[in-house]
Amino acid sequence: MTRFSGLRYAFNPSNKPGLRITKTEVLAKDGTWRPLDKKAAYQVVTVDFLARGGDGFTMLAPLRWQEDDKLANDVLRVYLERNSPIAAELEGRITARQ
């Protein structure tokens, strides 16, 4: 099974902003889910619009970002060429809890 983000989380939408995420896990290299280590460094891939704080993602702007010479749309195109057809499925990575 292909996982794009390697992240899963649970949230409670009725909690106050900043306290809505109740559980976060990352996918380890061995395929197991492990709790997010707040002291660890993680590699994140995103578009520069979000990395600069666009759409209200201001928490991303102060992070140290490294630009790559690859464009996101080119990477996606190559992935789709190599892995088509893509089978869409629900993975249960995001869980809402009341």
Q: Does pTM top 0.75 for this prediction?
A: no
pLDDT tens profile 26-84: 998 898 999 999 899 888 788 888 889 999 989 889 988 888 888 888 888 998 999 89
Residue type, 10: A
3-class SS letters over 27-89: ECCCCCEEECCCCCCCCCCCCHHHHCCHHHCCCCCCCCCCCCCCCHHHHHHHHHHHHCCCCCC
Beta-strand relationship, 94-96 and 7-11: parallel
Residue spans of the domains in the chain: they are 7-96
Pick the CATH number of 7-96 from 3.40.50.720, 3.50.50.60, 3.90.780.10, 3.40.50.300: 3.90.780.10
